[in-house]
Amino acid sequence: MIRYATLTDKGGREVNEDSLGVFSNGQLQLFVLCDGLGGHGMGDCASSLVVDVMGNQFESCNDPVNFLGDAFQTAQGVLMSEQVAQHAKQKMKTTCVALITDGSRAWMGHVGDSRLYMFKGGRFKKRTLDHSVPQMLVLSGEIKEKEIRNHPQRSFITRVMGIEWEKPMYELEEPMALKPNMAFMLCSDGLWELIDEKQMCVTLKASASPEEWLNKMEKFICTAGADRDMDNYSAIAVWVEKG
């Protein structure tokens, strides 16, 4: 059985440029979260458009195995066309992270620095790797994982939706079999920058529902971000429980 909860807040900003959506199609469920790039303008339009396009595509989905790749490509095409229509070719850019499940398996993909975290039995197992300069520096051994959150080039993203793609910029994870006591979290950088994996696990173990987990994490990040200009923050918590 799949349970989920959602959270989104504008933080200390005037506009919330994060968008998220949860969609159902028979036994299939799709979870999508996007973080519009505010520095380029119209990030809220870009993020909401991508969520809507992927949700609309999902209505006719009968092949979860190949859905995400096709959906990323379709949403990218619509976004690029909308840039032209809105005379906003240097604007309307967004990250995107998505998960689709049939109840027994999960398929995941992302582009940008919005993340998908995976947990088993309350323990952190893995996450998607950001398409960002600090993540590249970690992979090359130049900095440590813990240095990503406060790195001076933290906002330098190497792949997004809304720029010309010579080849697909999204990245798909290996399909995963779902087991009871697994949990997933899709989130924007406004959330993961203020809470580390250890605290994610502490709050997860202390929660009886996805809603409670998100509420506990929100309290933590609001305390951690109280002395700074907090970014928009959003998350979708997905729990796998016994049917």
What would the mean pLDDT of 12-16 be, rounded to a whole number?
A: 94
Residue 9 has pLDDT above 90, yes or no: yes
Percent of the chain at pLDDT > 90 equals 92
Q: Where are the domains of the chain?
A: 2-240
Q: What is the DSSP string of the chain?
A: -EEEEEEEE-TTSSS--EEEEEEEETTEEEEEEEEB-GGGS-HHHHHHHHHHHHHHHHTT---HHHHHHHHHHHHHHHHHHHHHHTT-TT---B-EEEEEE-SSEEEEEEESS-EEEEEETTEEEEEPPPSBHHHHHHHTTSS-GGGSTT-TTTT-BS--BSS--SS---EEPPPEE--TTEEEEEE-HHHHTTS-HHHHHHHHHT-SSHHHHHHHHHHHHHHHTTTS-PPPEEEEEEEE---
* pLDDT computed for residue 227 by the predictor: 86
Q: What is the pLDDT of residues 187-239, one digit of tens each?
A: 999 999 999 999 999 999 999 999 999 999 999 999 999 988 899 999 999 99
- Write out the CATH class of domain 2-240: alpha beta
pTM of the complete model: 0.96
Average pLDDT over residues 62-89: 95
User: Is the pLDDT score of 40 beyond 80?
Assistant: no
